[in-house]
C-alpha cells in the first residue's frame, strides 16, 4: 500500500451521532448531538460533509444520505470508561482506559482543597459541580470582592479554577493550576486541571480564550509518540498540546477558536513536513454544547463546513484527511455535560476510495492504528487499521 505524505486528523469536539450501546449507563439514553440539533433548528444543511457521507451515519434533517459519497465513512464506538475530552482523545490516539478518571459530584474532599489553599495562600470559593457560566453568575462578584479563586468541577474529571484577569494575572492563574496538577495525583489524579480566566463586570462576565488545560500524561505511547519517534513531524492545533501534556509534538499552534484552528490547519498544510497534523476544534463543545445552545452549535457546524473546501483544496495528492469527534455534547439535553455517543468518521483524499462504508467500528483507537499504517510507522498500541479498506489500490467495500 502506498504511504500517505501526511495524515490530517481533525476532531470536531463533541460532534457525536448518537446510538452508543452503553448510553443508558451514563444517563445519556436518547442523546444524539447531530440529529437532535438538526431537529431543534429545523434542518442542518452541511453540504460538504454531507457529500462526504455524513448523512449516511445518522438521521440529520437537512443533510440527507447520499449514494455517491466522496469519502469513506463510518462510525466509531468508544470502549474506554468515561466520556470526557481526555479519554476520547487518548483513545483516538491509541490508549484505551479501563478505569475512569475520578469525578467529584460532591466537590473535592477537604484534604485536596485544604492542601491547595495552603499552597496558594488563600481560600477558595465554590468547590461544587457547576456550569462554568452559571458559577460566574453566582460567585463572580464575590470573587472580585475577596480575591478568592473559584474552584469547581463537572461530570467530567476536571479541577477548574476561574479568576478575573484584572484581579489575578493569567500567569498566576496558570501557576495555581500547576500547583493543583502536582497535588492531584494517586487516587485524585483527575484527567485535567483547567484555567478558566474571565473578564467583565457582575451580570456580564465573559470567559476568555486564555483557557489552558493541564492534563495527565498518557500512561502508554500514543500515535503522536510513535510518529515522532519515526522522525516525522507531529503538528498540534488547538488544545492538542494540553490534552497530551505537550508530549509527542514537534510543533504546536494553540489556537483559541474554530476559525483560528482552520487557519492553523491550512498553514501546516502549506508549510509542514511529512507526518501527522492533529487538530481539535473546540467551539462546538465549549461555547454551545455546554451552554445548551443548539442554534449556536448549528451555526458553528455550518461555519466549519463552509471552510472544508479550503482544507480539501490544500491537501497534497498523497495526504489523507480524517474528520471525527471525541464524544457527544447534546445541547438539547436537560444537562450541560458531555454525552456518551458514537462519533462519525469521514476519510478523504486523492488516494482514498470514495463511497466505502466502514460500518460501525468497535474502537476509537482504530484511528491511531490506521494513521500508523498510512504513515508506515510501527504501531504497538490498541486499534485495528482500516487503511487497506479505504485506500484506492487495496480497498474492498465493507458493510455495516
Q: Stretch 185-201: mean pLDDT, rounded?
A: 95
Domains, the chain: 6-97+219-390 (3.40.720.10), 110-215 (3.30.70.1250)
The confidence score (pLDDT) of residue 394 equals 55
Does residue 105 surpass a pLDDT of 90?
yes
Cα angle 339, 31, 127 (rounded to 5 degrees) comes to: 35
The confidence score (pLDDT) of residue 395 equals 39
* Dihedral angle, C-alpha 261, 263, 174, 124, nearest 10 °: -50
| 33-40 helix and 294-314 helix, angle to the nearest 10 degrees | 120
Q: Stretch 107-112: mean pLDDT, rounded?
A: 96
**Chain centre to alpha carbon of residue 242:** 11
Q: Stretch 356-370: mean pLDDT, rounded?
A: 98
Written as one string, the DSSP assignment of 236-299 is EETTHHHHTTT-S-SEEE--SSHHHHHHHHHHHHHH--SEEEEEEE-HIIIIIITTT-HHHHHH
142 contacts: CB under 8 Å, gap ≥ 6: 125, 148
DSSP H helices in the chain: 33-40, 47-52, 85-92, 110-120, 132-146, 170-183, 223-229, 240-243, 258-271, 283, 294-314, 366-375, 387-390
Does residue 316 surpass a pLDDT of 70?
yes
Tens digits of residue pLDDT in 52-69: 999 999 999 999 999 999
Picking from 154, 189, 93, 195, the residue whose alpha carbon sits closest to that of residue 291 is 154
Picking from 362, 249, 349, the residue whose alpha carbon sits closest to that of residue 1 is 349
The confidence score (pLDDT) of residue 392 equals 87
Q: How much of the chain exceeds pLDDT 90, in percent?
A: 92
The confidence score (pLDDT) of residue 335 equals 86
Does residue 398 surpass a pLDDT of 70?
no
Q: Stretch 372-383: mean pLDDT, rounded?
A: 97
Q: Give the position of cell 494540553.
A: 242
Strand intervals (E) in 56-98: 72-76
* Dihedral angle, C-alpha 344, 60, 390, 90, nearest 10 °: -10
Does residue 397 surpass a pLDDT of 80?
no
In whole angstroms, how far apart are CA 348 and each of 28, 51, 141?
31, 11, 49
Amino acid at each position: 500500500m502506498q504511504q500517505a505524505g501526511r495524515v490530517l486528523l481533525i476532531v470536531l469536539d463533541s460532534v457525536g451521532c448518537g446510538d452508543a450501546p452503553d448510553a443508558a449507563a451514563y444517563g445519556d439514553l436518547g442523546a444524539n448531538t447531530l440529529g437532535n440539533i438538526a431537529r431543534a433548528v429545523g434542518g442542518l444543511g452541511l453540504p460538504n460533509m454531507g457529500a462526504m457521507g455524513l448523512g449516511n451515519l445518522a438521521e440529520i434533517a437537512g443533510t440527507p444520505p447520499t449514494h455517491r459519497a466522496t469519502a469513506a465513512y463510518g462510525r466509531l464506538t468508544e470502549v474506554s470508561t468515561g466520556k470526557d475530552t481526555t479519554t476520547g482523545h487518548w483513545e483516538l490516539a491509541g490508549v484505551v482506559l479501563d478505569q475512569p478518571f475520578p469525578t467529584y459530584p460532591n466537590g473535592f474532599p477537604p484534604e485536596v482543597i485544604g492542601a491547595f489553599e495552603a499552597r496558594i495562600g488563600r481560600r477558595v470559593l465554590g468547590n461544587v459541580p457547576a456550569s462554568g457560566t452559571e458559577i460566574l453568575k453566582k460567585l463572580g462578584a464575590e470573587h472580585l470582592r475577596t480575591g478568592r479563586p473559584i474552584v469547581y468541577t463537572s461530570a467530567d474529571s476536571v479541577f477548574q479554577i476561574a479568576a478575573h484577569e484584572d484581579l489575578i494575572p493569567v500567569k498566576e492563574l496558570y501557576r495555581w493550576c500547576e500547583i493543583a496538577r502536582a497535588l492531584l495525583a494517586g487516587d485524585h489524579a483527575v484527567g485535567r486541571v483547567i484555567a478558566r480566566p474571565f473578564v467583565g463586570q457582575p451580570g456580564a462576565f465573559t470567559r476568555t480564550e486564555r483557557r489552558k488545560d493541564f492534563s495527565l500524561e498518557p500512561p502508554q505511547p500514543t500515535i503522536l509518540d510513535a510518529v515522532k519517534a519515526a522522525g516525522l513531524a507531529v503538528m498540534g492545533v488547538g488544545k492538542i498540546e494540553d490534552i497530551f501534556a505537550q508530549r509527542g509534538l514537534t510543533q504546536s499552534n494553540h489556537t483559541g477558536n474554530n476559525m483560528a484552528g482552520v487557519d492553523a490547519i491550512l498553514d501546516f498544510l502549506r508549510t509542514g513536513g511529512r507526518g501527522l497534523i492533529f487538530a481539535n476544534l473546540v467551539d462546538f463543545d465549549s461555547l454551545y454544547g455546554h451552554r445548551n445552545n443548539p442554534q449556536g452549535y448549528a451555526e458553528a457546524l455550518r461555519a466549519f463546513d463552509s471552510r472544508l473546501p479550503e482544507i480539501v483544496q490544500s491537501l497534497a495528492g498523497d495526504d489523507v484527511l480524517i474528520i471525527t469527534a471525541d464524544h457527544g455534547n447534546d445541547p438539547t439535553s436537560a444537562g450541560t455535560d458531555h454525552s456518551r455517543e458514537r462519533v462519525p468518521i469521514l476519510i478523504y483524499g486523492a488516494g482514498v476510495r470514495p463511497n466505502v462504508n466502514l460500518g460501525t467500528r468497535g474502537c476509537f483507537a482504530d484511528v491511531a492504528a490506521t494513521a500508523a499504517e498510512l504513515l508506515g510507522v510501527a504501531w504497538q498500541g490498541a486499534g485495528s487499521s482500516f487503511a487497506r479498506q479505504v485506500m484506492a489500490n487495496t480497498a474492498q467495500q465493507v458493510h455495516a
